[in-house]
Amino acid sequence: MARYFIELSYDGAAYCGWQRQPDAPTVQQALEKALSTLLRAEIEVVGAGRTDTGVNASFYVAHFDVAEPVADAKQLVYKLNLILPHDIAVRSVKRVKDDAHARFDAREREYTYYISQRKNPFRRYSAWQYYVALDVEKMNKAAESLLVWDDFTTFAKLNSNNKTNICRVVKAEWCRDADDEDLLVFTIRADRFLRNMIRAIVGTLVDVGRGRYSVEEFERILHSCDLSLASAGAPAQGLFLSDVQYDAEVYE
């Protein structure tokens, strides 16, 4: 048996998330079908994490096993990109240790959220089109509290069966895109994320930026561990999984 990490990116608009479902298109199903066709075996892939319906990934990692080592990984990447749908692209296939795990060995994950503050037809599927003026400095001040608090029950989707809602956020920052001042970018990095957590955080921080909440009120909402106090989640199309980090030791 040989195990491989496959690095890919995808536009989530046409999919009901990453995870396989019986009666809905998912990224996992599309990738498994393509791998099984080319490797002439029933291939299952295990992803670095679940992305919800409509959420994108500019960088995603999954692992799969084959009975014999892949003869030419670059050729496999080329063929995968030929037969996969246009909205899924494979970057690389890399041999890893037999016990390496795309999900459990990930040290950190990073998500990026985009808000377009001006109508932009080229961003309609990749950003939240939100035209209300926002106080970015105030939003960043509120986001600082995410770095010193680790219980994110307030932003956890109900009935998700999490063993714990503890997450350690190491970065949470808003900035304006260097090439487009009307595009706001929120970057958040942590050891793990809860389902719907980032979209709930973004929605609540936007309410800080437009003046609905003060920085102190955001902190009270965070500390309350009460989902009903959080704002509505931001739309899915603005969210991208943008990085997954592993220790070098997982690779062959």
CATH 3.30.70.660 correct for 108-243: yes
Average pLDDT over residues 225-247: 96
Separation between Cα atoms, residue 216 and residue 242, nearest integer Å: 30
pLDDT of residue 205: 98
Instruction: Indicate where the chain has its CATH 3.30.70.660 domain(s).
Output: 108-243
Q: Which of 70, 50, 52 is nearest to 4 (CA)?
A: 70
Separation between Cα atoms, residue 31 and residue 88, nearest integer Å: 8
Quote the percentage of the chain above a pLDDT of 70: 99
Q: For 175-218, how does the pLDDT look when each residue is reduced to its tens digit (9 = 90+)?
A: 999 999 999 999 999 999 999 999 999 999 999 999 999 999 99
Q: For 83-139, how does the pLDDT look when each residue is reduced to its tens digit (9 = 90+)?
A: 999 999 999 999 999 999 999 999 999 999 999 999 999 999 999 999 999 999 999
Cross-strand partners of 172: 188
What mean pLDDT, rounded, does the chain reach? 96
Residue 81 has pLDDT above 70, yes or no: yes
13 with 87: CB under 8 angstroms? yes
Tokens of 110: 């990073």
Q: Could you tell me whether strands 239-245 and 169-177 are parallel, antiparallel, or unpaired per DSSP bridges?
A: unpaired
Instruction: Indicate where the chain has its CATH 3.30.70.580 domain(s).
Output: 2-104
Separation between Cα atoms, residue 104 and residue 88, nearest integer Å: 23
CATH class assigned to 2-104: alpha beta
Q: For 15-60, how does the pLDDT look when each residue is reduced to its tens digit (9 = 90+)?
A: 999 999 989 999 999 999 999 999 999 999 999 999 999 999 999 9
Average pLDDT over residues 213-227: 97
Separation between Cα atoms, residue 116 and residue 134, nearest integer Å: 11
Place of tokens 């890399």: 94
Backbone angles phi, psi at 182, to 5 degrees: -85, 0
Residue 159 has pLDDT above 70, yes or no: no
Banded model confidence at residue 162, pLDDT cuts 50, 70, 90: confident
Q: Which residues contact 241 (CB under 8 A, 6 or more apart)?
A: 48, 49, 51, 55, 56, 57, 58, 59, 60, 109, 110, 111
Q: Which of 190, 193, 227, 221 is nearest to 207 (CA)?
A: 221
Q: Which of 184, 176, 79, 177 is nearest to 127 (CA)?
A: 184
Cross-strand partners of 64: 4, 45
Average pLDDT over residues 141-165: 89
93 with 4: CB under 8 angstroms? yes
Residue of 11, 23, 52, 98 with catalytic role:
52
Banded model confidence at residue 65, pLDDT cuts 50, 70, 90: very high
54 with 12: CB under 8 angstroms? yes
Is 52 an annotated catalytic residue?
Answer: yes
The helix, strand and coil proportions of the chain, stated in percent and rounded to the nearest 5, come to: 30, 30, 40
Q: Which residues contact 105 (CB under 8 A, 6 or more apart)?
A: 246, 247, 250
Average pLDDT over residues 150-158: 90
Average pLDDT over residues 150-174: 89
pLDDT of residue 160: 67
Residue 244 has pLDDT above 70, yes or no: yes
